[in-house]
Amino acid sequence: MDNPIIRKNPITHDWVIFAPHRASRPKDFKSTEEDRIALLYNRPKHKADCPFCRGNEHLTATEIWRLPESEEWQVRVIENKYSSVNRNLELKKYGSGLRREISGFGIHDVIIEHPHHNMTLALMSLSDIEMILHAWLRRYQEVKAHPLVRHVVIFKNQGLRAGGSLEHPHSQIYGLPVVPFEVEVRLREMARYYDINDRCLICDLIADELSEGQRVIAQNESFVALMPYADLSPYHFWILPKRHHPCFDSLNEQEIPLLAKLIRHVFGQMFQALKNPDFNLVIQSLSHYEKEFESFHWYISVIPQVKHKGGLEYAGGLYVNPVLPEVAAKEFRDVEESSGLS
């Protein structure tokens, strides 16, 4: 189908123009990414000046903890040396009328995900990814316990196009005194759907997508990965827990290996289909479970950075996506079939 289609995202209420007739554009950005796998493979296992490599611990800010607690650590959690917030400030409010501000309190940490410099999620072992999930979960629970923290977000910027400043595999965690606007939008839309239908929007979305199957990338008994019906950018996908809960820290010991296996699988698909693209990963979650927020359903959003925003996105928040999610999902599944991913 070559004609453009405009779809509405049910969670964000964004409109997305799908323009498959611009099919040459995905080929363009793929060709520019062609050598990124080779770049990764040519990267050294250890860099003497990298603050995140094992043996260079003296180059980082204060360490919070490591797993395991030995010199042969696998994951380290440290304070961000260049934090945009200050964990030592008191929370104070200022302003009047239309001018409002609060002191810049917040927690900003870095999670060093692997001791090796030339590693990425697609190439890690299952035990490596399980260790990262345990670290995310533990630090998430610690940060959200702070009395001034209202929202916790874990995210990963891999590569320059995704806003990353260091090659070494790492993610970040913020504890914020405010709830970001886009989180409130998702909460509002899920709550509205729940009020009308007495059901969870994400749970219904999962059931609908599994029934149709076109946009599903992979699944197991506890998680499903899929391209959203109205994804805002090419190859944008979600990893969703089948069990309903508003908070990421509901993840239990039985689910961690299953989530690790699915992450390794779909990141392997992305790695090969898009030639190791830069990407952003965000855990969309409420930080505190309250009865009135039972409509929310946490999930992981992954955005490969294969297309920059253009004028229409900046001018009106209307997104243009040259790749239909059905086509993108099939490309990922075709990688699985051709390469023997399991």
Q: Which of 151, 170, 245, 297 is catalytic?
A: 170
What are the structural domain ranges in the chain?
A: 8-87+102-339
Residue 22's pLDDT is: 58
* Band of pLDDT at residue 1, cut at 50, 70 and 90: low
pTM > 0.85: yes
For the beta carbon of residue 273, count every other beta carbon within 10 angstroms: 20
Confidence check: pLDDT of 210 > 50: yes
Instruction: Work out the average pLDDT over 49-77.
Output: 96
Local confidence band at 203 (pLDDT 50, 70, 90 cut-offs) = very high
Query: pLDDT > 70: what percent of the chain?
Result: 90
Percent helix, percent strand, percent coil in the chain, to nearest 5:
35, 25, 40
- Mean residue pLDDT of the chain comes to 90
pLDDT at 293: 86
Looking at residue 316, its pLDDT comes to 65
Task: State the pLDDT at residue 95.
Answer: 85
Distance between CA atoms of residues 29 and 162, nearest Å: 15
Average pLDDT of the residues in 105-126: 96
What is the reported pLDDT for 320? 86
The mean-pLDDT minimum among 21-30, 84-93, 297-306 falls in 21-30
pLDDT-based confidence at 341, cuts 50/70/90? low
23 or 81: which leads in pLDDT: 81
pLDDT(185) > 70: yes
Which residue from 70, 329, 25, 12 is spatially nearest to 201, judged by alpha carbons?
Answer: 12
228 vs 2 pLDDT, higher one? 228
Q: How confident is the model at residue 196 (pLDDT cuts 50, 70, 90)?
A: very high
What pLDDT is stored for residue 125 in this prediction? 96
Whether residue 124 contacts residue 144, with contact meaning beta carbons closer than 8 Å, is answered with: no
Q: What is the mean pLDDT of residues 176-185?
A: 91
| Average pLDDT score over residue span 166-191 | 93
Non-local CB neighbours of 301 within 8 Å, separated by 6+ positions: 236, 237, 238, 281, 282, 283, 284
pLDDT at 221: 97
Fold of domain 8-87+102-339: HIT family, subunit A (3.30.428)
Quick one: pLDDT band at residue 176, thresholds 50, 70, 90?
very high
Greater pLDDT, 59 or 38: 59
pLDDT at 312 over 90: no
Of the pLDDT bands very low, low, confident and very high (cuts 50, 70, 90), residue 188 is very high
Residue 28 has pLDDT above 50, yes or no: no
| Residue 146 is among the residues annotated as catalytic for this protein | no
What value does the mean pLDDT take over residues 192-209? 96
Is the pLDDT reported for residue 109 higher than 50? yes
For the residues 188-207, what does the mean pLDDT come to? 95
Mean pLDDT of 299-322: 80
Q: Minimal CA–CA distance to 79: which of 143, 137, 148, 144? A: 143
Distances (CA, A) of 342 to 1, 16, 122, 218, 327: 31, 32, 12, 10, 21
Q: Say if CB 134 and CB 113 are below 8 A apart.
A: no
| Per-residue pLDDT tens digits for 241-259 | 999 999 999 999 999 999 9
